[in-house]
Each structure stands twice: as C-alpha cells, then as structure tokens.
Structure 1
C-alpha cells in the first residue's frame, strides 16, 4: 500500500513550525485491542522486529523486551497495563499502544483508546471472538474510530484463516458485512510443518494480484499471477466491489458496472481513504517470524496499512475542553502552535526516576522544564489527594521502549511521551498552560464493583499505608478507595480478582506496604421485631458520690425510613428534666452500637415513661448508662430483626445469556422487575437483590455471560432479612 502523506518525521528538538506540522502528518497513534491471549504483545514485538526496533525476537540492543516494564506482568504471564511501543516505517512514526486483554484491566484499555486515533483488533485464528471484544467494536464504531483486523496465530495447526474471516464478518460487519473483508489470502507454498500440513509461507494480494513470499524469513515480491482463480478470484471481486461502494468517486461504480477495468492504484487509494474514514475494515493475516529472521508473515503489509490507511492525529476529532471552573473554551485543534492541552493517560512508578506519566498531547507543544497547570475532575472519594488544581514544572520528556527511556527534546500536538516528575498529576488529569488552564472531558471508565477489605499487616505497614494507597489511587482511576463509616473497614473497590491481586502486589513491591485481606462486611442494620418494655437500673455506691439512675422505656418499631423518635412521657418529675436528654443520649449511643449482633438499630420509637433519681448520686453519666441498659432489656423482650441492604441492579447482557442471568438472580434472592431490549442483541435486566448476595457478582457475571455482560447497582433500602439467613450471621452461629 502507498503512503498517503509521503512525509518523514521531523528532527528532534525545537523544530520550525513547518517541520512540526510535517511531524504530525507523518504520525500514527494506533491501539492494539483483543482478548487476553490473542497475541497483541507478540504482534507488537513482530512489528518492532520488522522495523528494526528489535534486534531479535523480543529484544532491543540492551536486552530488554517490548513488554519488559512491570515485574508483575512477568510473574502473572499476562499484560496488566498499557505500554507504548514506538516504531518507524517508511518515514512514518507509529506509536503502538499495547493494551491488556483481560477484563480486570479494562481501565488500561480505555486509556489506550483515548490516546489512539485508530485501532487494530487482534483476533486469534484458534480462539474465536469473545463478547467483550464485540462490545468494544461497537463502542469504536459509535465514535467513528478507524479499525482494521489482524488474524494471528496462523502458524498454529488448527488455524483456519477463511473461517476466522467469516467469524469477523459476522461479529463486526453489522448491517454491512461487506465492509469487513481480507486484503490478502494466505498461500501454502512452504515445507510441511510438524502436523504434516504445508506451512503458510506467503500472501496473495487481492487488489494488485501480487504475491509476497516469506519462506526465507523476509518478504520477497513475486510476479503477480496472470489471472487469479477459484477462491482468490471470488475474494478479489468481492473486495473490489466493496472498495468501489465506499469510493468518494460516484462515477467509479458506473464505470465498473459498465465493464471498465479499474486500475490497482485507484482501488488502493480509495481503500486507504475508506479505512481512514472508518467506513471499511480490512482483515490482515499474521504469523510469527521464523527463527533468526526479522519479518513475520504479514508484518510489512500491516505496517503499510497503518502508515497509508490510518489517519494522522490532525485528521481525527479531539475531545472537548473547558476551563477548570466550567467556562467554555474554543474547540481544540491539533496545532503545535495552539494552546497547550495534554492528558495523562497512564501513571506509573519507576525506582530510578520516580513517577512517570504517559501523556497524549492534543494541542500545543510540551517541552522539558516547562511550567504547566495540572487540572483534575475533582478528588475521588478517599483518594487522599485534596489538591487537584495546581501548577507544576515538568521533568524530562522521553519515548519509552520497555524499560528504556529515549530522551526527546519536545512533544508537539499528536505526540505520546513520558513525562517525569509530575508529582501531583494522576491518570486522567489535564496539562495546560498556567495562564490559560484547561480541563479535557474525561473518558469513560468502568465502575469498580468488587469489594476487597484489607488491613495493615503490622504497625510499620499501618504507618505507610496512607501514602501507599494515595500512590496506587493516583496510578489507577479504576480503583475506588473507601473507609466504610458503618463497618470501619478499609475497602478497595476493584474490577476483579486479578485487578485486586495486582494492586496489592504493587502496594507491596512499589510502596513497601504489606496488607492482609479480610472478609468484607456488608453493613447490616437491626430493628425491633415488635413492641417491648425495658427498665434500666444503674445504682452503685463505692464511697464518696455514688451513681444512681433508674429509667423505664417503651420501644416500638417504626415503618422503614422513619428513623428514630424519642418521646418524653414522664409525669410527676420522677426523672428530673435535666436528665431526660441524658437518657436519650444513652439510648442513641446504644442504638449505634446495636443490641443483638453489633449492628446499628434503626426505625424505632423510644418512649421514656418513668424513672427514679437521687438528689446527690444521680448524674448525666448515670442516666446515659440507665438508658442504654433499658434499651437492651427491651430488645430481649421484643426480639430483634436484622435488616440487610438491598441494591437496585441494572444488568446489561447479550440476549443468549438472559436466561442464565435471570436464574442466577433468583438463586441470589433477587427480584426481577423487568427486561427490555437495548440495541441489537442485548437486553437490560432490572432487578433488586440483597447486597449480601452481590459481593462477588462482578466476577460471577463475567463468567456467566462470557464477558458479554456488565451491571450497575445503587442502594435502594434496608429490609428484613429471612430468619434462616439471619441465624447464620448472629454471634455464636456456626455459619
């Protein structure tokens, strides 16, 4: 494929305006998307090898790898964070953003989408397409992001390129499956592999008819076939018709229908324009390079598509920006001389240079040692960062490659760079000029719904815990930190178990803080099962002033939501007026502590009906104690019911899993309130369910719906818990 820009990147340093504009035109920001195990990181390494960024598979000159950044990734054998792989091909700079495929790290994926201008969806020929990838394709389509598909693992014995292409057409074609077609067909000319089948050794280019032979480990172009036959001829005709249908030249279709021969250059140019508009989504083939070789099957073709078909940053719309106080600002433009507007898309720590912020520059030019204004979207609950609108000075700018940081002189509009020493910035913050501060609209982030309760392992860890938590919250916007006011537990709200494991490991290795996981406690309540009466007697004499207070109360439950009422019906001054507030204070304190299972008591009316006092020994403290004792005695007589919180659920799931979701909600004591279709192939389930049954629902729903479901929940009310469930939670129970 040709190069739409035919430009080369400008030299580093303070480049003239014309050079900066040329740098923007010859820049591509591309994100790799796909489920875990699809081969995204392997593909990134293959492209780096083909462009010379790697000297051998997975290694740069100093021995590091493309993904060699986070030790946790090596231990877990999967990507857990966004990584940048800078490449250059045919004078075009490519910022390749490798994202985690596991659902627990969706926040890193969202950040990659925000920083990119086009997406490569990676589909393994051996694994199929999961529901989460289908949903992500629909999201990209909604914003018009250009997309292409790469079929990987074609060197696997069970790989079937044609079947995978048809699967992609069904999953991503929507109303127009002809917009998802291959540009090449694999050619089996190589020697037989271990399975006895001929190895795929080349590609047949459908538009030009040329053949690219990779049998010797590097691409060799052979003469095009005189006349494609069979499946190749049918695939070529289908591709030509699809390209012409998306052509901006309306006369081209008339010429084609009239039997005119359309030259290959015209078709390629129209194809590239359709890809850049997001109207056509080519499917490409990929396989690993041979041992000791540099070019894997399809690597050059993929690089050509990225450089010639994907848009530059100047061709893509930019996010909205306002002043930090909400006042409007002119729309951003990808102009190196415009006002500075950049966004932190990832924050991480480095043991040598400290905090590193991966930044996408939307407008203006960022230089080392430049003062910037850091704006955030308000401090998240419990994140220990009150100051979120401040001025800082940036440190060194670099282009990362694994562990290696290559220093750069400046980053102009469209660039993605690492910025050192932004100590107050966190993921999602905006960098702008101090004289003209801006705040870029936030990108969509998943809501963390898996609670993980933790406590410091030792006193030393407790002293460092606050600082460590502040650090990981700044790095990960999908983490929500909560100090529960009812249970007093420290709770990390995560996206899943793997997410929680990584966060705790980062606390230990990066922050030196060891924490222990403890069972998460759902905040329950108590209420009286019926009316009751109690007498509180607090009489002590031990020399000097004694303690004397007696009070009698009546207690009755109130309707849900009525709160607490205290009524004074004392007659004859049996309880002096100055001590009636003391009785109420003691009752309130006991209500907060609970009367049966240490849960707060709600929705009750307490009536003070009688009591006794002593002219010398009665006191405020004595009547507080008597009030608490009276409430506990009344609870023994009336009985206590546990109240559990109930959540309102909205579960969005693929149609084929609705039945399984409904059955699962029923098993969780849920009540389905209705279902309704949402878009094509998805259903919204509205239900209510006890919070006790939803502690692990974030994990269970993902398994139940095969990644094609998500949910939100909100507090609805507390309601009585079934006796059988309550019996397991009371003190002394075996449950």
Structure 2
C-alpha cells in the first residue's frame, strides 16, 4: 500500500472491466464544495492511464465533463461515475457534489460505494471540514464504512499539512485521534518570494523512502541524513497506531521490547485496519504538472484503494424483502446468484433517452435481460410514502461511462456499477430483480425537502407538458417532492435549498421543454367565528314562470379547534320541509368551503337551522342551497371572523454552539420553544411550535445560521388564531389586489 516501487500501468483508452467481485473497488469521494474532488478524480484517471497527459479522452473531453446546467453554474450538482483500472483492479470512482442542496446525490454515492475518500482542502483550513462533511463521516462511522482522508491544495501558499492533519485528527478521530494519521509527509521545493513552496514529492513513513515527482515522473530515493530525524516522531506514532489496531496481541509487546517489526507485517495490519474501518490514513495529492504523466501522491492513493479498501465481497449488502414486506435471507455478492440490483441515479441523455446508473449487488446483468422493477419510495415515519409500483421490462444496452462517452459492456457482475439504457419505468431507488424472484430493497435514507416552490405553467403549451415533466423530474430525484395542494390549489415543488430549486426549474426548461413561472407559496389558512351570530338567507325570485323561493334562519357558534363544520336541524312545525333540510346543509357547507372574508375555508363552527319558509311550487333544492349560503354570509357580516394559521411542530438538531442563536431566531418567528435535549455528543435537539407562515424559508435560513451544521424536520400540529395585526395586513393585501400568503 503506497510504499511500492514497481511500475504501475493503467487501462488507457478502454473501459476497465472485472470478471470477479474481488477485482472491484467502489469508492465515493466526499468533501466540501471547492475541496478539489473533481480535480482529484481527473488526476487519478490520468495516473491510471485512462486519459492522456492533457487529461483528455479520445473525443477531447475530460472524464468529469458535466452537462449544460453544471457548465453554466460552474458547480458539480450530480453524482458522476469515473471507472479506472489499476494493477488489474477496476476502481469505480464516484464523484459527489459538495454543495448541501445536492446531498441526495451524495447519499446515492454512499449507497453505491464500499469505501469513502474524504477530501479536505488545506487552502480552506479554517473551514476545511464543513458541517455536512462531518455529518457524512458520522454516518459512515455508524455503518463501519472504511474511510481515508486526502488533503488537497498543499501546492498553494501558506498551507500546512501538519495543521490539516491535526484538524482531521480532532474532528474525525473523536476519542481516538491516533486512528487518523498520515502515511506520507509532503516534500516541498525551495520557497519563492511570495512564500509559496511548491509540492515536489512525498516521504513514506513506513519505507522511509522519498517519492520524488519533481521531474514529472515518480522516482524513488532514500532521504538525506538531515531529513531522517524529523521523520522519526511521525513514523513512530504511525507504527504505534497500526499496532494498536493489529489483531496480533503480541505485536505491541514486541515493539515496546525493542524488537523490529518488518514493513510487510505493518502494511498487512494497516490494510486490514483500513478495510475494517478502524484506521483512517491521511494522504495528500495534487494534479500532474504540465506534460507530466502522474500527479503527486496519486500512485500512493491508488495503491491505498486497491490494497486497503474492501472488495464488494467484504461489505454487508442491503436488506431485501418480498414485495409484501416479508424478510428474505441476506444477499450474497455472487455473480452466479439471483439478480438483485438497485437504481442509484436516473438521468436523461438527449440522444439515448433515460439512462440509469445501477449497482448490481447479486447476480449478473446482461443486455436484453428481462428484469422485474419494483420500488416504494420513501417510507420513513411522518412522511408520505410513494405507493408500491412494479413492472417487468427488457433492459437496453449496458455501458460504462467515461466523460461524455458511453462505452458498451457485455455484462455487469455482482459488485460492479453500470449504466442501463431504456429503463423508462424505473425511478431512482428502485430494485431490479429476476422475474421469477421479485425483491424489494429498503430505500436509503434521504433528507426531507422542506423549501417550497409554487409554480404555474407559463403558457397553454407548457400546461400540456407540465404534468409529464414534473413526474419525470421527481422520478429522477428522490429528494424532490411534488404536491398538489388541495387547500390552496397550487402545484408545489418541495426542494432542499435555493440551488436545488433553481436546478429543478432549469431542468424543466432545458431537458423537458417546460417553461414555468414561480408564484408566491400560499399557506393553508382557515376562518372561524370569534363569537356567536345569526343569519337569515332569503332567496326569492319571481319572473313570470316557475320561480325560486327559499328562506332559512340559522344560528352560528364557534367550536373547539379541530371540530370542523357541525350542522344541526332544529326546525319545528315544518317551516322548512324535510326534503330541503339537506339542501340547506349542502349550501352552508359549500359556502364554508369557499370562505367568507378572505377566501379561506371556514372551520370549527356549529350551524343550527332553526326556522325558515317555503313555497309549495317555487321552493326547490337549488333555492334552499342558495338560501343556506346567503344565511351563512349574513351571519359573518354581523360577527368577527377570525383567521386561523397552521402551526408546525419543529425539531432542530444543531451543535451546542448554535443553540442560543437558533432559539432566539425561533422566538423571532413567533415560535414557542417547548424543550431541548442532548442528542449525542455536542449536539442539541430543540423542539418548538412555529407558525408555518414563518418557516417557509427556514431550510435556507437555518443553513446560514448554523454554517451548514443544523438540520430540522417539521410536521403539522394544528390551526390556531392568527394575531389580529397580521390578519388585518392580509385583509389589506387582498383589498389592494395583491396576492396574500
């Protein structure tokens, strides 16, 4: 692992393939936006011989060329697969977005991978490890996923590898900082006038050899005598850290007794500790200089991946059930087994159509195979689940992506990743299985989208295409939720943040040809009577022929919250014939649904029909419906109508440092903090009740307030009275012809 002197060769100009899971490594790259993940992927591809010295594939593009949206935004917003080959091993590098709005793509990468590279930038020392990156590290730790750390941008001025290693040890090491230690120390060239000392190579702490990249090719030589002393402390600490993780309990006693431990034993123990996820080596890497074949540290990193990261055979596979939820035996990563695969990403290509990135967990997938597709979307408590859907379909061509190219492959075995064409009925997260043995994999955890965007079709032509475009958008991105709000009659797209929202609109326009307009998102308010009132509805019309005659008198009184509309018949003496009493109720309920003063539904009142008049010829069902509605409107004219607003139960999980600002912010939103509790080390869960009018943009505001470290969820609690001054403001807006909430 790393301290190897042989010459490495890659797989230039072709898609790497594997004939057994032991020859596959699936690695996801995690890191803050700007940390250098994409540049690192390109450097690894160049070192592996997958691209030429200019970092280009045959068509002149790079392996990480993005679609039009990403090029316009100059930001990676999607999961990208870059397969390379190193020493006969296929390495699937999964480059993920670093921006928090696209954490769904990151989680898809985690699902498809067996190990993770956390990329941190030395140029961002003060904020090198963002809150989202720390959260992902904790998630990986919870499932025992192997992790290593790569420090980038050490070739910029005023950067320190020692400082970054210390920061990583404190943040990622937790109670055991000696589980996060460097394998190599950087070698810098002469310092320039601006204080910049270029990175020229690495020193292997175990081998005590210098790997010099200053000539553009990796060369090896021993350190000078003056360079050996500074390495001793770091080397001893590394050896002690490796021995502490060794399964050989005698190794520490031998080491403390002065016995020399040979390098092969140390490397073997190191690789096993990395594969178990108990030791996390720190490395550094930099892209190749102009004309050079290898980037600094890329050989060492590829050796770590092939030697220390686990194969798909060594990682637990997702649990599977029948379509009805009955548990099934655990999957085996066996190419000869029954097919079990999962769609981890869905994309659309302008020429190929829908393209699905699939991780095969068991069995072998081949072109033109018939597969069973099943899925159930999100099923977390408190969230609406998508219904179970299933179908059988013949898959299209299989391909391995490389930049903008799709290179055909003949089969994809268990443990590997592949792009599948024409899975038109498959959504992200769906399970592919053998037709005779349909399976269902539990979906991976996705964040709940909490930023609403109400949209309308821009034109009649767009209206015809809107439904299909939205359905395809949501099928591709499970972190996006579509709502047809029955109260406000708005089409609402729920997203993770403003950038996520902007990309959704961009994709609708450029990918599906649908132009939409964003409109203010309305909250479902309610109306109720603040006190008792009476009303008389008189609908009498006579115009020569059959007329209309209906009179009814009602009493209205408020009821407790959540009571709805209660209708009571107290008519005596037959003043309103029995057949027309349901007509009065129907008219009252129809008017209540339309609202009385602001257009919001009326709730929580008892309407009592106590008297009325009819005509033997001119009375009718329609006449008494109209009279009932008129009576309710008259009662509202003589009473104070109170607006009710929805209140949400909000739970905010934040680091302890931000508890004060968050609670103060919630209070400023008319929120009531109902309690706090510790949730793990250094984190607090704040519970509050907040009017939904005040938290429309809370997903964005909390991210800013907590520097990306906080998250929250919400659920409807009840409707309660809106403060009079806010209700008056809403009335004024409606009277002036503006759109309210």
Q: Common fold, TM-score beyond 0.5?
A: yes
- Is residue 3–residue 207 contact of structure 2 (8 Å, CA) maintained in 1? no
| Residue 142 (str. 1) matches residue 142 (str. 2) | yes
Q: Which residue of the partner structure matches residue 545 of structure 1?
A: 546
Q: Give the aligned partner of residue 554 of structure 1.
A: 555
**Structure 2 equivalent of residue 45 of structure 1:** 42
Does residue 671 (structure 1) correspond to residue 672 (structure 2)? The answer is: yes
Distance 1:501 1:2 in 2: 43
1:305 equivalent to 2:308? Answer no
Query: Hey, what does 2:21 align to over in structure 1?
Result: 24
Contact 2:211 2:219 in 1 (8 A): yes
Q: Where do 5+ consecutive residues of structure 2 fail to align?
A: none
Partner of 2:591: 590
Instruction: Indicate conservation of the 8 Å contact 2:452/2:492, yes or no.
Output: yes
Q: Where does residue 292 of structure 2 map in the other structure?
A: 293
Q: 1:171 to 1:378 in 2, by over 3 A?
A: closer
SS at match of 1:123: strand
1:159-238 equivalences under 5 Å are 159-188=159-188, 190-193=189-192, 195-225=194-224, 229-238=228-237
Deviation track 1:12-43 (CA, whole Å, cap 9, x = no partner) reads x9x9xxx97x6311211000001111111111
Q: Cα offset for 1:644?
A: 0.4
Within-5 A mapping of 1:56-205: 56-127=53-124, 128-188=128-188, 190-193=189-192, 195-205=194-204
Question: The residue matched to 1:296 in structure 2 has which SS?
Answer: coil
Q: Distance in 2 between matches of 1:662 and 1:383?
A: 28
Structure 2 matches for 1:524-539, cutoff 5 A?
524-539=525-540
C-alpha distance in 2 between matches for 1:673 and 1:716: 13
Question: In structure 2, what is the equivalent of residue 576 of structure 1?
Answer: 577
How far off its partner does 1:194 sit? 6.6
Could you say which residue in structure 2 is the equivalent of 1:607? 608
Structure 1 pair 194–503 and aligned structure 2 pair: CA distance change class (3 A):
farther
Q: How far is the alpha carbon of 1:711 from its aligned partner?
A: 0.8
Report the 3-state secondary structure (helix = DSSP H, G, I; strand = E; otherwise coil) of the residue aligned with 1:702: helix
Partner of 1:257: 256
Q: What does residue 732 of structure 1 align with? A: 735
Paired with 2:378 and 2:272, the residues of 1 have a C-alpha distance of 43
Which TM-score applies when normalising by structure 2?
A: 0.95
Q: In structure 2, what is the Cα distance between the partners aligned to 1:112 and 1:330? A: 25
**Do the aligned residues in 1 keep the contact of 2:81 with 2:94 (CA within 8 Å)?**
yes
Secondary structure class of the residue paired with 1:502: helix
State the alpha-carbon separation in 2 of the partners of residues 63 and 323 from structure 1: 47
The 1:535/1:284 distance shift into structure 2, 3 A limit, reads same
Cα root mean square deviation, aligned:
2.4
Match of 1:343 in 2: 342
Q: Offset at 1:339?
A: 1.0
Question: 1:437 aligns to what?
Answer: 438
Q: Is the 8 A contact 1:276 1:310 kept in 2?
A: yes
**1:369-408 alignment, distance < 5 Å:** 369-377=368-376, 388-408=389-409
Rounded to whole Å, the distance in 1 between the matches of 2:670 and 2:229 is 59
Give the aligned partner of residue 506 of structure 2. 505
- Any residues of structure 2 matched to 1:453-532 within 5 Å, and which? 453-532=454-533
Q: Distance in 1 between matches of 2:215 and 2:288?
A: 10
Q: Deviations over 1:171-190 (max 9, x none)?
A: 100110000011111112x2
Q: Distance in 2 between matches of 1:500 and 1:328?
A: 37
Over 3 Å counting, the alpha-carbon distance change for 1:661 and 1:574 in structure 2 is same
CA distance in 1, matches of 2:180, 2:218: 25
Flag structure 1 segments of 5+ consecutive residues without an equivalent. Answer: none
- More off after superposition, 413-422 vs 569-578: 569-578
| Greater Cα offset, 382-391 or 546-555 | 382-391
Does the 8 Å contact 2:10/2:49 carry over to 1?
Answer: no
Q: What is the number of residues matched between the two proteins?
A: 727
CA distance in structure 2 between the partners assigned to 1:705 and 1:292 by the alignment = 44
- Report the alpha carbon displacement of residue 197 of structure 1 after superposing the two structures with TM: 3.1
Contact 2:576 2:612 in 1 (8 A): yes
User: Residues 495, 57 of structure 1: CA spacing in aligned structure 2 closer, same or farther, 3 A cutoff?
Assistant: farther
Q: CA deviation at 1:323?
A: 1.4
> How far apart, CA to CA, are the structure 2 residues paired with 1:452 and 1:723?
27
Structure 2 CA distance for aligned equivalents of residues 291 and 8 of structure 1? 20
Partner residue in 2 for 1:644? 645
Deviation at 1:228, TM superposition (A): 5.3
Q: How far is 1:231 from its partner?
A: 3.7
Deviations 1:251-272 (A, max 9, x none): 1111100011112222111111
For 2:356, the equivalent position in structure 1 comes to: 357
CA 1:480–1:661: 2 relative to 1, 3 Å: same
Counterpart position of 1:278:
277
TM-score (norm 1): 0.96
Helix, strand or coil at the partner of 2:635: helix
Partner of 1:710: 711
> How far 1:217 moved relative to its partner?
2.1
**DSSP 3-state at the match of 1:511:** coil
CA distance in 2, matches of 1:635, 1:230: 89
- Measured against aligned partners, the alpha-carbon deviations of 1:534-591 in whole angstroms (never above 9, x if no partner) come to 1111122222112121111111100112221111222222222221111111100000
| Alpha-carbon separation, structure 2, partners of 1:619 and 1:382 | 46
Kindly indicate whether the alpha-carbon contact (under 8 Å) linking 2:524 and 2:646 is maintained by their aligned counterparts in 1: yes
1:527–1:603: 8 Å Cα contact kept in structure 2? yes
